[in-house]
Amino acid sequence: MGCVQCKCCRRYPPSSSSGDSHRRGGDAKVKPNVVVQKPPLSSSIQVPSPNFDMVYSVLSQRGYYPDSPDKENQDAYCIKTELQGNPNVHFFGVFDGHGVFGTQCSSFVKERVVEMLSEDPALLQDPEKAYKSAFLRVNEELHESEIDDSMSGTTAITVLVVGDKIYVANTPFREDECERVKACGARVMTVDQVEGLKDPNIQTWANEESEGGDPPRLWVQNGMYPGTAFTRSVGDCTAEGIGVTAEPEVSIVHLSPNHLFFVVASDGIFEFLPSQAVVDMVGRYADPRDGCAAATAESYKLWLEHENRTDDITIIIVQIKNLSNE
């Protein structure tokens, strides 16, 4: 959902496009000397039906915020194996909190989504329906909780493994999504457009990976808020009035021997790295711990080349091993 992505690698990926379309101005003179440590352990799971293995690792790195040295890491992640005691069902998720209470929102949602999936008796009969139901119910719980989610919330990217299928709950970055929120009353403009520095009539909704440092945002008709750079999230009670929804779009991938791994990560990874670059980088490492560390270090470096800060960065790499066509 929103600004986090899952990328699934095939054995023969298309060629990576050259160039970086995300370059931003800004003084990047202050560069902290940060060494990204690879995760200490990787873990493995056997999926009995259809008999393959998954080896995974995760790394979450707090962002560098020179103006807010005490700012918490608002990313959260959840890895839950054998949902409902079933060795064929596993969950991986990254939750990217935002707003004053973003840390509390991401922590709340990561716990409750997997709990609801685990408690849903219809999970295996209709995983897509269970997925959507879990997010919508957790959204209502968050609204009713003690956490102030009026201008805070969390985006999410989660993967549910059910045998040799993966169900990916995410948010599309498409023109029809733009039109959907406009129909709900949102103004969709960049900050420069809202402030009168650029023509507000020029459409800026393009491919997510080609957007620069001033992405299109959602605004109420007669105000300078909430300014969300996403259309789907959990929480964000104010933004719901202009079309932001907690209902995810679920994609289904039938795994084959050509699928070597999948990556679940926050936009701290993808802000300056195209998806294919991440896939190519991760694919060079036999150990997912090394892949996590390499992608995080490269993302951190690119952030500081373009800005004086970095975002929080979280990445899960899940390798798929010994899957046959039988």
Measuring CA to CA, which residue among 84, 211, 106, 213 is closest to residue 153? 106
Is residue 93 domain-shared with residue 191, that is, in the same domain? no
Q: Which two tokens stand for residue 163?
A: 């045998």
218 and 149 assigned to the same domain: no
The residue-averaged pLDDT of 312-321 equals: 97
User: Is the pLDDT at 35 greater than 80, yes or no?
Assistant: no
Domain of 95, in residue numbers: 2-7+38-171+233-321
Among 229, 251, 271, the domain boundary falls at: 229
Q: 65 and 162: one domain?
A: yes
Rounded CA gap, 134 and 185, in Å? 26
Q: Beta-strand (E) ranges in the chain?
A: 4-10, 43-47, 52-61, 75-80, 89-98, 153-162, 165-170, 187-189, 217-219, 226-228, 234-235, 249-254, 259-266, 313-321
Same domain (yes/no): 122, 261: yes
Model pLDDT for residues 264-308, shown as the tens digit of each residue? 999 999 999 999 999 999 999 999 999 999 999 999 999 999 999
Are 165 and 249 contained in the same domain? yes
Measured distance CA(159)–CA(248) in Å, rounded:
12
**50 and 162 together in one domain:** yes
Distance of CA 224 to the CA centre of its chain: 26
Contacts of 314 (CB under 8 A, 6+ apart): 58, 59, 60, 61, 75, 76, 77, 94, 96, 265, 266, 268, 269
Beta strands in 139-280 (DSSP E): 153-162, 165-170, 187-189, 217-219, 226-228, 234-235, 249-254, 259-266
- Whether the Cβ atoms of residue 1 and residue 156 lie closer than 8 Å to each other: yes
One domain, residues 164 and 177: no
For 144, the enclosing helix (H) or strand (E) is helix 127-144
Same-domain status, 162 and 263: yes
Over 60: is that where the pLDDT of 9 sits? no
Identify the pLDDT of residue 28.
Answer: 41
Residues 238 and 144 in one domain: yes
Give domain status of residue 286, yes or no: yes
Q: Give yes or no: residues 44 and 178 share one domain.
A: no
For tokens 């994609």, name the residue. 251
> Which DSSP category does 208 fall into?
G
Rounded to an integer, the average pLDDT of 118-124 is 96
Q: What is the pLDDT of residues 134-183, one digit of tens each?
A: 999 999 999 999 999 999 999 999 999 999 999 999 876 688 888 999 99
Of the candidates 182, 191, 189, which has an alpha carbon nearest to the alpha carbon of residue 205?
189
Identify whether 13 is part of a domain: no
pLDDT at 39: 82
Cross-strand pairs, 175: none
Mean pLDDT of the chain: 88
Using CA atoms, how far apart are residues 172 and 174, in angstroms rounded to an integer? 6
Confidence at 40, pLDDT banded by 50, 70, 90: confident
What is the tally of structural domains in the chain?
A: 2
If asked whether residues 185 and 243 sit together in one domain, one would say no
Residue 16 forms part of a structural domain: no
- Residue 249 confidence (pLDDT): 93
For residue 19, give the DSSP letter: S
In this predicted structure, what is the pLDDT of residue 171? 74
Q: Above 60 in pLDDT, residue 4?
A: no
CB atoms within 10 A of CB 207: 9
| 190 and 303 belong to one structural domain | no
Q: Which of 303, 268, 57 is nearest to 155 (CA)?
A: 268
